[in-house]
Structure 1
Amino acid sequence: MALSRHFRTSLAHFNANVDRPDELPEYLESLTELNRQELKNEFKNALDKDLLTEREFYDATACDPASKDSARAFFESVYRYAFEGGEETDLTDYWKTPPNWRSYD
């Protein structure tokens, strides 16, 4: 799935090698209202169409997901955190292996 630059940057806050999810709200605030709304729509559409897979989980986090359902739950949690005032997403709740254990390459 081709993700926009803002989508990729948002998810990069959860990369286990960077681990800065607390900075996501600040990043979102730095976007224009239009860009924020476009990002929200893109994210919601990707969730609704089930386009965010284990591969996207690995690409975003550098970790293997515990399962397909776990990857899905991670993206849903990130969406709630980013756009609905949900709790900060803890990557360790969703991974099977720590960063760079193996890759999908």
Structure 2
Amino acid sequence: MAPLVPVFSADTLPDHVNTVRRNFIEKKRKGEPVNLKECALLEMMQYSCNPPSEQVPQPGVIVCQPVVRLFRRCAGGLTVETTSWEPLRQIEEAKEKLASGSKAS
């Protein structure tokens, strides 16, 4: 049986990247803390393929939809999927930009 995988929200991803779980014990990752914003952004396109569900499909007809997945590759080979985190990061940066713009006026 595969080990249990902890479930957490996307906004806590940067904190979870800096911890390692072994035998149900969390430890801080060795070395400098990882800042996901500084890691290289990578994109991977996958396809979800299913038979059409609206009606009885013709034999051999499959409909594929693209699914974009985003990753950050950091120093030391650490690669983290950030598909759910990237929109939250963009909203946070937009708020910071608005706040700094209103202070400058």
TM range (shorter): under 0.3
Q: Which has the larger radius of gyration?
A: 2
Higher share in helix: 1
| TM-score normalised over the length of structure 2 | 0.25
| TM-score normalised over the length of structure 1 | 0.25
Considering Cα pairs closer than 8 Å and 6+ residues apart, tell me whether 1 or 2 has the greater RCO: 1
Higher share in strand: 2
